[in-house]
Amino acid sequence: METLQESEKIIAERYRILGKLGQGGVGITYAAVDLNSNQKVALKALSLRLTSEWKKIELFEREAKTLSGLNHPGIPRYIDYFQVDTSQDRCFYIAQQLAPGKSLAQLIENGWKPNEDQVRHIAYQLLEILAYLQSLLPAAIHRDIKPQNIIIPKNGRVFLVDFGAVQNTYHHTVTGGSTVVGTYGYMAPEQFRGKAVLSTDLYGLGTTLLFLLTQKFPSDLPRHKLKVKFRNSVSISTEFADWLEKIVEPAIEDRFHSAKDALSALRGEQPSGINPEKMFKRSPQSRITLIDAKRWLFINIYPARLPSKLKGFFQFINLTGKVLLPCSLFLQVFHLILSLIAVPLNSTFSVFKYTVADWLGKLFQLFVFVSLQAVIIFIVFYALRCLCLISYCLLSRQIQISPQDIQRVKLSGIHLPLLKKSITFCRIRTKSRNYCFGLFWPQAEKEWLVGELNDFLSKLK
């Protein structure tokens, strides 16, 4: 990709370009000055003219949306997202706080050789950032942890940058797939299959730490069955080597399950042992995550797209409104014409008896009547839509149940107006209360959940 902007050029009458910082798979990043605040910023740009793949635009917009919702001292602050149109091109921009310092790749290139304590300190800070990203709902997966994307200023504080490959678990489950993104050598094996889970970022972190310790690219280190053999190339404690070996395990199930678990193990604490990715098989739409945490059973229900039946209901109301308005207008005009040219039994055409004021009055009545009908139809439509959307979103929650308290799990039915078939929902009966949810979920997903819970309870008994 060629350089888009030259130094000293002013973008959107606000940002003055200072120079190019770097170039990745999605866009070019420049150092710039915010003329409003006189602060230095990182300005990431993507040209529509120079982009051959629409996927890059999607990733760029997803990065901006993700950054706008992040608030962590280790992630540069989001400032703005905008686009600039010219006669020849359209450019998209993301403005962020400029992380001071140099990347780990630049430091190693300049001859820096960190010891075990320094590498541990970097690992602590990055794990805290990843733990924050994984605590979001939905969780965010960076997917491109590497030395070039980790900035360290003189005070030693770590910044994680370049969220161009970011994926949130909700987006992934809705689309049912992913794109192979990342950097060779730092990519977990599952990324080559287009898959990313919470521990995917841990693999990238582990290989980054190995790069610091060995001064070699991870792809240059010996491997056996995808497993990196690094012990002969480093001089570190056995405890830290064991931790590194676990974080770069090629198999997802052998790795730490989350950044929180990896951080606990690095501190010498006991990990929680909860694998949020693989306690049960995934649901058909992957909206539900079941976690068995020994004493409690967690059912995490994430927001999802509007169900097709609900969409159909809205479309029906919208279509009805579009049909009723023209029909009503036609009938009122027809009624007006008849009332104006009616032929009484003992008179001539009464059309000549109406004055201009009478005509205007009739037309005004027609306008008011039809307008009121339109307003009523639209108010009812949007009120129903808002009510359904609010009710549907409220169904997204976490249910925490003691398995010993569960008495019965089944599908119950309910009949809704305007629908021919009954709609089922999930019902969990416990000793103290009933949990009812999933009214508008796909049938396959409800059946999956009930089947998984009943299988779990039967094994427990």
Q: Which residues are annotated as catalytic?
A: 144
Cα–Cα–Cα angle for 433, 444, 275, rounded to 5 degrees: 70
Separation of alpha carbons 301 and 286, rounded Å: 10
- Do 18 and 30 touch, CB atoms closer than 8 A? yes
Cis before 138? omega within 30: yes
Encoding tokens for residue 200? 């995917």
Stated as kind and residue range, the H or E segment containing 206 is helix 200-214
Spatial distance between the Cα atoms of 443 and 440, rounded to a whole number of angstroms: 9
Q: Where are the alpha helices (DSSP H) in 41-115?
A: 54-68, 104-109
Residue 423 bridge partners (DSSP):
414
- Report the C-alpha gap between 429 and 408 in whole angstroms: 5
Q: Which two tokens stand for residue 148?
A: 């070039």
What is the CA 283 to chain-centroid distance, rounded? 18
**How far is residue 297 from each of residues 86, 117, 193, 275, 402, measured CA to CA in Å?**
56, 39, 31, 13, 6
Give 409-412's long-range contacts (Cβ < 8 A, gap of 24+): 409/450, 409/453, 409/454, 409/457, 410/450, 411/446, 411/447, 411/450, 412/436
DSSP state of 98: P
Q: Tell me the residue type at 234.
A: V
